[in-house]
Amino acid sequence: MRARRSRPLLLVAAGVGAALTIATSAGCASGTVQPGASTPVTTATAPATTSATAPASTPTPEPSASSTPTDGVPTDQPTNGPNTLTAPTAGATVDGPDVPVTGTGTGFEATLSWEAVPTGGGDPVAQGFTTAGANGEVGPFAFTATLPPGTYTLSVWEPDMSDGATGTKRHNQVSVTVTVR
């Protein structure tokens, strides 16, 4: 009776052994070696199947006549890295003396610096700081620059917090030239 029970077990063992031999041979053929293993090892993958139904079609959006590219920043706004000036626009003539300035940006501890320098150079006629997004999160900023009539380069940037170790004191500076009347 013992012989009858052991025969099915032998057949199962032989089948398992044959399967392992085939699997190992397939691994050798594919050259798959897992890290730390000294012999190739295969992993079972399901065979590819085909479907009688076609994949669903996704309509392609038509481009629109807009100055806003896919990243959401209009192409006519000065941008450097995460910082963008949205108003005033470059070359604008604005009523003074109070000039509203808006944009988006990010800086260490949410701080961005700004200044207005007469076109052609010189000392800033107005300067200060504003808050925006912090530590990589872009957020809005707004401030008012009080400027006498004239033409100015208005700049906003993230100040350097490394005492000059980075080689620049103004990170991601954006600038526009505006005329105040």
Interval 69-78: pLDDT, tens: 434 444 466 7
- Per the listing, tokens 């999160």 go with 137
- In angstroms, the Cα distances linking 44 to 22, 27, 137, 140, 163 are 12, 10, 44, 52, 57
Coil, strand, or helix at residue 164? coil
Mean pLDDT over 35-53 rounds to 45
In this prediction, residue 15 carries a pLDDT of 56
pTM score, whole prediction:
0.56
Rounded to whole angstroms, how far apart are CA atoms 87 and 90? 8
Q: What phi, psi does 128 have (nearest 5°)? A: 175, -155
81 and 71 in contact (C-beta within 8 Å)? no
